[in-house]
Amino acid sequence: MSEIMRADNVSMIFGGLTAVDNISLTMEDNEILSLIGPNGAGKTTFFNMLTGVYQPTFGTITFYGENITKLKPYERVAKGISRTFQNIRLFSSMTTLENLLVAHPKCNSENIGRVLLGGKKLKKARQEIVEECEEILEIVGLKDKEDELATNLSYGKQRLLEIGRALATNPKLVLLDEPGAGMNSMEKEELSTLIRYITQKMDKKVLLIEHDMRFVMGISDRILVLDHGELIANGKPEEIQQNQMVIEAYLGKGMTDEE
């Protein structure tokens, strides 16, 4: 197995609050890895450090052996790290297709010279970008909604569009922050199928945060548990379910219930 991403002694301190406390972990090839933990445990903060929204207060982050700790978010996207957000961030007045087009790496490569030259080559290049984005819409199940404004999509479909936009950047690793939040059980089934498709057929790695235990236990190869910024468990779903510290961290919330 080869290493995809590694965090070494990573901490994030906001003023007096240690949101992420000295976490070290590796993400290996061939696994769907999930990050769980109670509200405020530091999950999104950790994602924000992996994606460059925050620079860790301490520690280093490595992606395919390269130290990326100081890279900006757009530089990490170019390296192949893409994400969705816990609070959906779409261009609501753009169509479904347009939301993908703006994320496509070739969209900004139409420089002035090429635009002036125009002609068949440019038209063909544009057509290829549109076709690639339409293929992604097909994969996430939104092809029939491509001309719909993002704001008119249901909440569940907006989440799928965010995944589509993440895929449009041609990532190696996709980080999903609560992709199933607000979805009904049928949509969650479809989401599981989609995540498996992304990993198995598209050969992309997935790291996800999710509160729905049934969903997480069903899809993950390995689970990391954060509590008060600390990594308290790391193991296979069946090990996590039996782990006393994890049960205590979730006490009163029910390990098998949705939040």
Ligand X SMILES: Nc1ncnc2c1ncn2[C@@H]1O[C@H](COP(=O)(O)OP(=O)(O)OP(=O)(O)O)[C@@H](O)[C@H]1O
- Which residues would be at the binding site for ligand X (CB under 6 A)? 14, 17, 19, 37, 39-45, 86
Q: Which is nearer to Mg ion, 133 or 179 (CB)?
A: 179
Closest approach, Cβ 227 to ligand X, in A, equals 9
User: Could you count the other beta carbons within 10 Å of the beta carbon of residue 1?
Assistant: 8
Q: Which of the stretches 28-36, 82-90, 120-128, 240-248 binds Mg ion when contact is defined by CB under 5 A?
A: 82-90
Residue 78 interacting entry, from ligand X, Mg ion, none, C-beta within 5 to 8 Å by type? none
Closest approach, Cβ 124 to Mg ion, in A, equals 42
Closest approach, Cβ 51 to ligand X, in A, equals 13
Residue 245 interacting entry, from ligand X, Mg ion, none, C-beta within 5 to 8 Å by type? none
Residue 200 host element (H or E):
helix 185-200
Q: Phi first, then psi: what are they for 90, rounded to 5°?
A: -115, 165
Q: Which is nearer to Mg ion, 226 or 240 (CB)?
A: 226
Closest approach, Cβ 177 to ligand X, in A, equals 8
Q: Which is nearer to ligand X, 119 or 252 (CB)?
A: 252
**Under the phi-then-psi rule, with left for phi > 0, alpha for psi from -120 to 50, and beta for the rest, what region is 108?**
alpha
Closest approach, Cβ 203 to ligand X, in A, equals 28
Residue 6 interacting entry, from Mg ion, ligand X, none, C-beta within 5 to 8 Å by type? none
Residue 19 interacting entry, from ligand X, Mg ion, none, C-beta within 5 to 8 Å by type? ligand X
Q: Which is nearer to Mg ion, 43 or 145 (CB)?
A: 43
Torsion over CA: 65, 54, 207, 239 (sign): positive
- The closest of 127, 191, 188, 125 to 164, measured between CA atoms, is 191
Q: Which is nearer to ligand X, 44 or 96 (CB)?
A: 44
Whether 71 and 99 have beta carbons less than 8 Å apart is answered as no
Q: Which of the stretches 43-51, 101-109, 188-196, 224-232 binds Mg ion when contact is defined by CB under 5 A?
A: 43-51
Cα–Cα distances (Å) from 6 to 10, 27, 121, 207, in that order, read 10, 6, 41, 12
Please give the distance of CA 29 from its chain centroid, rounded to a whole number.
16
Closest approach, Cβ 108 to Mg ion, in A, equals 30
Report strand pairing: 66-67 vs 58-63.
antiparallel
Please give the distance of CA 34 from its chain centroid, rounded to a whole number.
11
Q: Which is nearer to ligand X, 195 or 249 (CB)?
A: 249
44 binds Mg ion (CB under 5 A): yes
Q: Where do the H-state alpha helices sit in the chain?
A: 43-51, 73-79, 96-101, 112-117, 119-140, 155-168, 185-200, 213-219, 237-242, 244-249
